[in-house]
Amino acid sequence: MSHIHRTNLELIKNGIFGENTIFRMAISLCPSIAVTNSLKNGIALGVAVVFVQTMVNVTVSAIRNFIHPKIRIPIYMLIIAGYVTIIDMLMSTYFRAIYAQIGLYIQIIVAFASIFARAEVFASKNKLVPSFMDGFGMGVGFLLAMVVISFFREFLGKGELFGFTIVAGKPLLIMILPAGGFLAVGLLMGFFNWVDIKFFGGKGASGVR
């Protein structure tokens, strides 16, 4: 599976649409429900993932010729853990309020299958710039998925966006509860599948079934 001939823009588009982490590949789902009860938290985690995914891809690609295949997994884990620790410390200092709510999930980024998979599948076999584009695209795809889910959950669940009240009146409280998170993601996934089947002749999301 060689991506050498793809242009950089295509790589980014692939990360956002074709192989979108949440809606098509359906991995790294844990945070998609946990932090999306408000737009602020969703964007915070999304940005953290963009940072980690891009940096990990770049680092792995830069040293790909020096890694012995047998020990590559611990090395990847070490690189990922390092960047997650960096972003964790940055967030806990500069974004105290948000960190207080989603701190645990920032640390969980280390266990993201998507970052690990990209490093293994793409970054270890491609040059620096394509790896950067791929990581960035995947990260942005994740960020967009977060935004979409948080938008629905906060809007329906609280009638607010970013803390600004948009619709006064009784909101659908279930949407910000854990149960609502599952429902929102399930319905959104179904919607994206429907779009895919109807307009693109696809067969719906792959991944964990």
Partner 1 sequence: MDFGKLFELVVAASLINNFVFTRFLGLCIFFGVSKKMETAVGMSITFTAVMVVSAALSWLVFTQVMLENALYQGSPDLTFLKIIIFIGIVAAFVQSADTIMKKISPTLYYKLGVYLALITTNCIILAVPLINAGEGYDFLESIAFGLGSGLGFALALVIMASIREKLELADVPAPFKGLPISFIIAGLIALAFTGFSGLITL
Alpha-carbon Rg of the chain, whole angstroms? Answer: 18
**Interface with partner 1 includes 75 (CB under 8 A)?**
no
**Interface with partner 1 includes 107 (CB under 8 A)?**
yes
- Letter string b/e over residues 6-45, b meaning 16 or more CB atoms within 10 A of that residue's CB: beeeebbbbbbbebbbbbbbbbbbebbbbbbbbbbbbbbb
Which one of residues 77, 147, 161, 172 is an interface residue with partner 1 (CB under 8 A)? 77
**Interface with partner 1 includes 90 (CB under 8 A)?**
no
First to last CA, the chain: 23
Among candidate residues 46, 49, 79, 48, the one with its CA nearest the CA of residue 61: 79
SS percent in the chain: helix, strand, coil, step 5 = 75, 0, 25
Q: What is the closest distance, in whole angstroms, from the C-beta atom of residue 54 to partner 1 in the complex?
A: 19
3-state secondary structure at position 161:
strand
Both tokens of 116, joined, read 């690990």
Positive or negative: CA dihedral 174, 175, 180, 183: positive
124-153: contacts with partner 1 (CB under 8 A): none
Closer residue to partner 1 (CB): 94 or 164: 94
**Interface with partner 1 includes 197 (CB under 8 A)?**
yes
Q: How many CB atoms sit inside 10 A of residue 104's CB? A: 11
Q: CA 97, CA 169: separation in Å to the nearest integer?
A: 27
**Interface with partner 1 includes 71 (CB under 8 A)?**
no
Which one of residues 67, 75, 110, 147 is an interface residue with partner 1 (CB under 8 A)? 110
- Letter string b/e over residues 160-171, b meaning 16 or more CB atoms within 10 A of that residue's CB: bbeeeeeeeeeb
Q: What is the closest distance, in whole angstroms, from the C-beta atom of residue 167 to partner 1 in the complex?
A: 23
**Interface with partner 1 includes 45 (CB under 8 A)?**
no
**Segment near partner 1 (CB under 8 A), from 121-129, 131-139, 143-151, 190-198?**
190-198
Which one of residues 62, 63, 85, 127 is an interface residue with partner 1 (CB under 8 A)? 85
Which one of residues 6, 15, 30, 141 is an interface residue with partner 1 (CB under 8 A)? 30
Which one of residues 111, 156, 161, 172 is an interface residue with partner 1 (CB under 8 A)? 111
Residues in the site for partner 1, rule: CB under 8 A? 26-34, 74, 77-78, 81-82, 84-85, 88-89, 104, 107-108, 110-113, 116, 174, 177-183, 185-187, 189-191, 193-194, 197, 204-205, 207-209
